[in-house]
Amino acid sequence: APASANAGLRIGFTPIAANSLDTITVPAGYQWRVLASWGDAILPGGTAFDPATRGTAISQGLSIGDNNDGMSFFSLGADHGVIAVNNEYANYEYLFVNGRCNSIEDTRKAQAAHGVSVFEVRRMGGVWKLQPQARLNRRITTNTDMRLSGPAAGSALLKTQADPTGTVALGTFNNCANGRTPWGTYLTCEENFNGYFGTAESLPQNVAENAAFKRYGISAKGAGLNWHPFDGRFDLAKNPNEPNRFGWVVEIDPMDPTSTPIKRTALGRIKHENAEVVVNADGHVVVYMGDDEKGEHIYKFVSAKKFDAKNPKANRDLLDEGTLYVARFTTVDGKAQGDGEWLELTHGKNGLTAEAGFKDQAEVLVHTRLAATVVGATTMDRPEWIAAHPTQAQVYVTLTNNSDRGTKPNQAVNGPNPRAKNVYGQIVRWTPKGNDHTANQFTWDIFALAGNPTLHKDAYAGSANITPDNMFNSPDGLAFDRDGRLWIQTDGDYSNAKDFAGMGNNQMLCANPVTGDIKRFLVGPVACEITGMAFTPDHKTMFVGIQHPGEKLAASHFPQGGDAVPRSSIIAISRRDGGVVGA
């Protein structure tokens, strides 16, 4: 950024020290409260969370799901709004008293713990409160009716016995981070969908040796969620195309609880992290997206039509038609900056032909990862969230870590991914040529190389803006506030030992994008990840997600304390003096 940009940006709080406590720590002058937790009832008929049983399939479907992740706040007035939040996965060690999914009832309960929760909130006496049974409250789960739209809808690859049209899908799960459109809809992004499928039968050869299944990690073994023995939809031998109906960005209208969520296939099928929406100066809508897996890529969608602020209805299907691109970073040895270009993923261009395995654009989109390799995209260190600056054409991405970097032939060390066996992660940023988000060229540099300067003297010490006082590992959640402060959330190693000594629990930091200064703002409870953030329009409240406290039976009782079952929660943070958070 130019040195003059945001020169007056104020980050006014006193940074806090790392710790390993089982609570939330925020700076002096700030306060936090729990807004909502896994299992809180939000629909008629819902019952209070029962720690003895952790609920049933029915009660879970009427309550907030597990593992809240990305979220957006939609305002309905100064003191009223609706929050849409992803429920990424379920912690079986807490969801089930015996820790296992062993029946169709268990499967339905787990499926109901996934998806998206939508609920109204109101500020009363200065405190934001969940409104149980409010009009817009809604649960979207693994079993909610959805529509597939865009260029891949109706493709043979998306057809199943239950849906011979390839246009009607059932549900969403492993929804990681999110996006928010200027026409008021919520985008939920399907990430690690592959592990939910499996089979006890032997797979037909064309399924077992399918290159796309291999690239996306779809196998007979699955990831141990154990849905396929009880719900044939997840049995690969019975429904080999069902996994192709996941890995999409899904658009939801939070203002209409009867609306059908829409899977937007034009945005590609990857393990989506978030979907950062920018309206370019010329009106084209640009969506930046990361694919979170070791050695995967960064993508950009550019809408064919333009956003029309005066005609909201006309914007509703902007995400169905446009061009998908994948990033190639040019690197010069030893340089922490360089050029890059966006490579078009359009059938018939850049080698994406029938001979290369892509019959049509639908196949390019269903097998986006394979297409990205054909065009020569750069392998990255697990792209997580992408955040665009609110007023300047500059875009940041968290590259969380990558144990494979430097050890696999397709993952040699490169400019934006400069360290072998990268345990700390980095934040890379780029500026589109001419400040035009639709341009094919960009320049990039490294904003922060996380590391441990108390242990290391080499590249693992991190960049100059990483100090013993602000060090962290595995940046993941990332977003700008209205004023241009960059908020960073971590999903890293919380052992506080060895390479991670001095870093404590997962945390949230605030960075000045101009100076590079980074200050620690929040430390989470034991064995949690900090993920998901949203601001009220007055920026006096920030909602933050505390995901999986006490995972793998670690000793957390957050948020209730005592000997309570730990529960993923959303907290509301504000200043005691009523000022703008972060300022």
3 state SS of 241: coil
Between 293 and 491, name the residue whose CB sits nearer to Ca ion: 491
Residue number with CB closer to ligand FEO (401 or 574): 401
- Residue 455 Cβ, how far from ligand FEO at the closest point, in Å? 26
String marking each residue 484-523 x if it binds Ca ion according to CB under 5 A: -------x--------------------------------
Nearer to ligand FEO, 320 or 529 (CB): 529
Shorter beta-carbon distance to ligand FEO: residue 384 or 551: 384
Q: Is 273 in the site for ligand FEO (CB under 6 A)?
A: yes
Instruction: Quote the CA–CA distance of 323 and 338 in Å, as a whole number.
Output: 24
What is the chain's alpha carbon radius of gyration, rounded to the nearest angstrom? Answer: 22
Residue 427 CA, chain-centre distance (Å), reads 15
Q: Which of 22, 190, 276, 476 binds Ca ion (CB under 5 A)?
A: 476
Minimum CB separation of residue 419 from Ca ion in Å reads 18
Of 178, 174, 180, 173, the C-alpha closest to 188 is: 178
What distance in Å separates the CA atoms of residue 215 and residue 244, rounded to the nearest whole number?
13
Looking at the Cβ atoms of 231 and 292, the one nearer to ligand FEO is 292
Angle made by CA atoms 286, 86, 401, in degrees to the nearest 5: 70
Q: What is the arrangement of strands in the sheet containing 272-279, beginning at the earlier edge strand?
A: 272-279, 284-291, 298-306, 322-329, 337-344, 441-449, 426-432, 395-399, 383-388
Beta-carbon count within 10 A of 351 CB: 12
Contact residue for ligand FEO among 120, 235, 292, 363 (CB under 6 A): 292
Stretch that binds Ca ion, among 34-42, 79-87, 389-397, 528-536 (CB under 5 A): 528-536
| Interface with Ca ion, residue 66, by CB under 5 A | no
By C-beta, is 253 or 476 nearer to ligand FEO?
Answer: 476
169, 193 in Cβ contact below 8 A? no
CB of 380 to Ca ion, least distance (A): 14
- Minimum CB separation from Ca ion for residue 247, in Å? 15
Contact call for residues 47 and 141 (beta carbons, < 8 A)? no
Q: Which residues contact 552 (CB under 8 A, 6 or more apart)?
A: 93, 527
Distances in whole angstroms, Cα of residue 202 to Cα of each of 199, 209, 219, 527: 7, 12, 11, 38
Applying CB under 6 A, does 190 fall inside the site for ligand FEO? no
Instruction: Tell me whether strands 569-575 and 541-547 are parallel, antiparallel or unpaired.
Output: antiparallel
Give the distance between the most distant pair of CA atoms in the chain: 65
CB nearer ligand FEO, residue 68 or residue 438: 68
| Segment (H or E) for 205 | helix 205-208
**Residues 281/165, Cβ–Cβ less than 8 Å:** no
Of 367-406, which residues contact ligand FEO (CB under 6 A)?
Answer: 384
Site string for ligand FEO, 44-83 (x = CB under 6 A): ----------------------------------------
Nearer Cβ to ligand FEO, position 24 or 289? 289
Q: Which does 253 bind (CB under 5 to 8 A by kind): ligand FEO, Ca ion, none?
A: none
Q: How many residues bind ligand FEO (CB under 6 A)?
A: 6
- Single out the residue of 22, 40, 66, 88 in contact with ligand FEO (rule: CB under 6 A): 88
Closest CB 568 distance from Ca ion, rounded Å: 10
Of Ca ion, ligand FEO, none, which one sits near residue 191, judging by CB under 5 to 8 A according to partner kind? ligand FEO
Site string for ligand FEO, 138-177 (x = CB under 6 A): --------------------------------------x-
Tokens of 235: 């049995």
Closer by beta carbon to ligand FEO, 393 or else 399 = 399
Name, in order, each residue with C-beta under 8 angstroms of 479's C-beta and a sequence gap of 6 or more. Answer: 385, 387, 486, 487, 533
* Closest residue to Ca ion using C-beta atoms: 491
Strands (E) located in 280-408: 284-291, 298-306, 322-329, 337-344, 383-388, 395-399
Identify which of residues 190 and 253 has a Cβ nearer to ligand FEO in the complex: 190
The binding site for Ca ion (CB under 5 A) comprises: 384, 476, 491, 529
The binding site for ligand FEO (CB under 6 A) comprises: 88, 176, 191, 273, 292, 384
